[in-house]
Amino acid sequence: MERGTLADSAYGRVAKTLHWLVFGLFFAAFPLGIYMHNLKASPEKFELYALHKSIGVTILTLVALRLAWRLFNRPPPLPADTPPLERFAAHGVHWGMYAMLFAIPLAGWAMSSASGFPVQWWGVVTLPDIVGQSRENFELFKELHEIFAFVMLGLILVHVGAALNHHFRRKNSILARMVPFMSIRES
């Protein structure tokens, strides 16, 4: 692959900002979800649920923006010598994460609708219910919400492992092109 400049082989500023914002929000929402779930009913628990839901809807919005942005700003290609199987795995994990980043908040939203506690986004916007109120729906979407969150965690582990492998073992610029202020060293 030809030596690229930071400008032509890195992700753009918007893509990087959205990537790291979603990363931060996911790792705020995930432990919060586990923590609040184990609390006894209290005003604190209620507030933490509201916070968790607001973060989730923010992730949903940012991921929709990220995909819209990606339509018009194609990501930089993988190095030309990337084996087909690895190319397939990288894209599979990326698209799997996009799918989960939609599925997790949507399942959470459906769970809220089913339980009769509509989602309030940062206390400002009340979202409409997307499924009917019932115990069956609640149980179904609760289960899905949890399963998707753990699938996501697995995908993230693979993704981070691959990024670190590229950086430390292969010594290419795959990591640098997504991390702000890291310089590209691809040859």
Q: Which residues bind ligand HEM (CB under 6 A)?
A: 19, 22-23, 26, 70, 75, 78, 90, 94, 97-98, 156, 159-160, 163-164, 174-175, 177-178
Tell me how far apart the alpha carbons of residues 61 and 17 are, in angstroms, rounded to a whole number: 14
Q: Are 100 and 155 in contact (CB under 8 A)?
A: yes
- Residue number, 114 or 174, with CB nearest to ligand HEM: 174
Q: Which residues make Cβ contacts (< 8 Å) with residue 152, sequence separation at least 6? A: 26, 97, 100, 101, 104
- Residue number, 94 or 170, with CB nearest to ligand HEM: 94
Name the residue with tokens 């995909």.
67
Q: Which residues make Cβ contacts (< 8 Å) with residue 149, sequence separation at least 6? A: 30, 33, 100, 104
CB of 124 to ligand HEM, least distance (A): 25
Q: Are 138 and 115 in contact (CB under 8 A)?
A: yes
CB of 6 to ligand HEM, least distance (A): 13
CB of 33 to ligand HEM, least distance (A): 14
- Residue number, 98 or 102, with CB nearest to ligand HEM: 98
CB of 163 to ligand HEM, least distance (A): 4
- Residue number, 51 or 99, with CB nearest to ligand HEM: 99
